[in-house]
Chain A
């Protein structure tokens, strides 16, 4: 593999930005945001340069490596800190730095009234650096560093306004649920080292064919646990909704476009493990299918625009995980959907931020209405994203989502039918709740407070939205024309034969569009034909109430994990107090009292001391006599 010593700059630039801004403190308040944006943009430029060089090389020589330093060298355990840029990671590099830079630009204006804007930008840069390390690491251990780094950045940014206790709690919730997933990743690394003797991608790829299925399955399942944590997949999905406490650009960048897709990256990157572990792979598609429905259903009952989009993110990542779980035939489609989703979801989040910006940070969609008159640009860009997520041709989502649904149907047998149907149903529900968001926000009669003065956002905010909208329109077509992305990624994945087609592609497409049409129609009937109340109706069915409570995800977690956890810790504390402390105190007091008794032998009289010496000497002689007899 070729060596390229320029890779480190991708990470070093934003990392330097973060460090400088954090160390400079208030002195950097004036120029910090510009500096951070420049750092992110330069990283993007380096990425583009690498991309152009990569294009110039033949397919099998595209991957390049850089060894940074010898990291761990203990006996047979050798890990170098090294970077790997191949066809897969370049997609992520461009997405992270490209969308990241746009969001930096957007934030300059969005955060302009915040006195801690510099710190915000420092964290954004930190996130970019950590995310790049995640996708550039050449081993699971290097990936793990980035993995933890983005977790930290996410925690810091969700709780950015931590003066509000609820926001601080949200950041903790995200962090703790992510820890569960992180444990999975560390277990996967340990098992990999124990059974395969290496943790580098190349080493594991080489060793995998000779390894036992059991150990590969164990690694695969642990990697899946990691992916569910970071990508908010079932059953570790509950943190994502609360993560919307962070500033909206954060939601767009971290909790829509990039970090939450790390799980998809992880599974795709570990394709050689999952291909050899069918059980783990089956679990992946199950998780994906459940989550895509779960997220979509939650989305139908959300009145908070950001939480509706968060539910949608969860659902869309479910599609990607589903795609990634379908094996070599699906990896490329998962990545394609990841990229298109990066454009349209980031665009819609920025649109939501723009709406909030114009509506005094109101997030309740029931307090919106008819905003298209006041925010035409936001309406258009958001609308393009809407069409993309619905999968209306020729917008981006159509290409990527349609391919996943098709592939799911082709998985074969009852599995294929179930997965395909779930994906189809998900598309219908998506159409319903996204149409609901559109109608409640941009059409109908205004329901906002008299104090609100909706207005369009400044250019620094709408320009990134516009650029992302262009991506939402064109990216799907560009990536799938002539199977560009599929061929681009081909060298990384195992070959796959032609699958028997359960349904002809045209049939699947028609079915999908039909589902979308039904979803849109229901939403229209329900929200456009009749007046929407500005408060959520109280008298609703039990089902609606359950959905409003996020399908009881928090109740479940609290009942099962939190309460038992609390019971466990309080039991442990009691045990510690009574048994362990008791024993220690007992020994301590016993020692003290016996010491007190011994102490009385110290009378202070020379005569008794002398007597003691005499007794000792006599005892010594007596003892010698006894010993030697």
Chain B
């Protein structure tokens, strides 16, 4: 056996390498720079890194060679679109994360301890969150373009580990935040095990870990089908856990609620894109010919997910939990795009992911603005009459809710319409019917919040809306403008997506 030096093809890897380099420099900044300069240096470094990476992604979008690192990575049209979407949403989120009101002063301290108190007195700030974000982004960039099972698993862990940490960094209600982080970690590890187990079965089935190899076996139909089916089931568990589909969703409300809101925004938007990106690639390429086995399952999960998310969201009294269940429902809608298994479904899914991600970041950004003396107010009962006190903030939030609900002239409408019509075309009528029904149910709780804000008389202990800092304002404005633009004039983006949305097998 000879050992050959791997051909890495750095051009294709460059966007991720840029982000990783930025993250490493960030670690060095943490170690060597005075704490007074850290926040601003880290912010500039992070945004700069992400922008550079985005530029690089666009520069290589039509490059000749597609695979890199010995075929473990494939940078094709959908890969480009997904990476660009992840980077854009990360850039928007970073400004929200930079608004460090949201983070604890000393993550290592026991909540309520003297140590923590002293740290707050000294005005410490957790700037470690910037390199953590960049590491997570690097994992997310790798996830949807991975083209063998090992790389896919590495990417999964690479994006998850920083997120586990970030979920525990909340400045207020730290116990809740740490509990969320631990839950996320334990359950994430649990589901990763399922994923690995499934990967092992797939290797057992085809004798290959590369997607192309597994696909050839599926097409050839030579292997043991039991191995394939168990492999599909368990790999699906790992992926469905990440997107928060029922019954693998249970972590998400707790984590969404406990994590600092800025992290929740980043996680809810960017992770979803990465995870669905990987899922689309696997189902559209590797498992496409075993469609008969997984379509009914995924349809069932999609239907349950949509209905469950929409239904339970109705009963929520906390705005972050409501958005968590809303995100579960949206995961169900997005599964319809996976089930569609056609080009229209792929384009629609990518559009939906981007539009939903932007609106999600915007909505959580608004949530950070509604506060009282002890921090963010997420109790919906105390949002009553917000529209009268802060009409702008309430109107923007209402707009994002309408986008989630899929009201025409918002990006949500275009997304839902295209994803459901693609699913309908492919014959998944049951999923579409359930989707439309649960959209109607979902509209109920979105609009209930709007009614609460605008048409209900104000509560006694009124919450105040803080004047948004420049950073949060950037996030809100960008999300708002993109959401409006995609709703009113989506044609250019749809055309752009259609041009690139073909997987290379």
- CB within 8 Å of B: which residues of A? 588, 591-592, 594-596, 598-599, 601-602, 604, 606, 608-610, 612-613, 615-617, 619-621, 623-625, 627-628
Contacts and interface: CB of A to CB of B under 8 A. Distances in A.
B314 A620 contact: no
Contact of A621 (B191, B233, B314): B233
Interface string B288-324: 0000111011001000000010011111100000000
A602 B250 contact: yes
22 contacts: A588-B444, A591-B311, A592-B314, A592-B315, A601-B250, A602-B253, A606-B182, A609-B251, A610-B187, A610-B190, A612-B247, A613-B194, A613-B241, A613-B247, A616-B248, A617-B233, A620-B297, A621-B229, A621-B230, A624-B233, A628-B225, A628-B293
A599 B311 CA distance: 9
B186 interface: yes
Contacts of A602: 250, 253-254, 312
Contacts of B294: 624
Interface in B214-248: 225, 229-230, 232-234, 236-237, 241, 247-248
B183 interface: yes
Contacts of A615: 247
Contact of A628 (B190, B191, B229, B254): B229
Interface residues of B, number: 37
A621 B187 CA distance: 19
* Among B232, B294, B296, B315, residue most surrounded by chain A Cβ atoms (within 10 Å): B315
A604 B182 CA distance: 12
B314 A612 contact: no
B316 to A, nearest CB: 8
Nearest to B187: A609
A461 B182 CA distance: 92
Given A591-B311, A602-B250, A612-B250, A620 B187 contact: no
A599 B312 CA distance: 6
Contact of B236 (A594, A620, A627): A620
Given A604-B254, A609-B251, A617-B194, A595 B312 contact: yes
A106 to B, nearest CB: 50
A29 B476 CA distance: 48
B237 A616 contact: yes
A595 B314 contact: yes
B186 A627 contact: no
Q: For chain B, what secondary structure do more than half of its interface residues adopt (helix, strand, loop), or is it mixed? A: helix
Contacts of B311: 591, 594-595, 598
B441 interface: yes
A591 B233 CA distance: 32
Given A598-B311, A601-B250, A625-B229, 9 more contacts: A599-B312, A606-B187, A609-B187, A613-B191, A617-B234, A619-B247, A621-B233, A628-B229, A628-B292
Contacts of B182: 606
A628 B292 CA distance: 8
A305 B33 CA distance: 97
Contacts of B241: 613
Interface in B163-221: 182-183, 186-187, 190-191, 194
A598 B249 CA distance: 13
Interface of B: 182-183, 186-187, 190-191, 194, 225, 229-230, 232-234, 236-237, 241, 247-248, 250-251, 253-254, 292-294, 296-297, 300, 308, 311-316, 441, 444
Contacts of B253: 602
B280 to A, nearest CB: 19
A620 B190 contact: no
Q: For chain A, what secondary structure do more than half of its interface residues adopt (helix, strand, loop), or is it mixed? A: helix
A598 B246 CA distance: 12
Contact of B237 (A594, A609, A620): A620
Contacts of A588: 444
9 closest A-B pairs (Cβ-Cβ)? Answer: A595-B315, A616-B247, A609-B250, A620-B233, A595-B314, A624-B229, A617-B237, A595-B311, A621-B233
A602 B316 CA distance: 12
A200 to B, nearest CB: 36
Contacts of B225: 628
Nearest to B245: A616
A604 B191 CA distance: 18
A596 B311 CA distance: 9
Nearest to A597: B315
A591 B437 CA distance: 13
Contacts of B191: 613
A149 B229 CA distance: 74
A606 B293 contact: no
Contacts of A591: 311, 314, 441, 444
A617 B246 CA distance: 11
Contact of B312 (A598, A610, A617): A598
Nearest to A618: B233
A627 B315 contact: no
A625 B296 CA distance: 12
Contacts of B230: 621, 624
A628 B229 CA distance: 9
* Among B183, B236, B247, residue most surrounded by chain A Cβ atoms (within 10 Å): B247
B176 to A, nearest CB: 10
* Among B232, B234, B248, residue most surrounded by chain A Cβ atoms (within 10 Å): B248
Given A610-B186, A610-B190, A598 B308 contact: yes
Nearest to A594: B311
B237 A624 contact: no
A119 B291 CA distance: 75
A244 B333 CA distance: 64
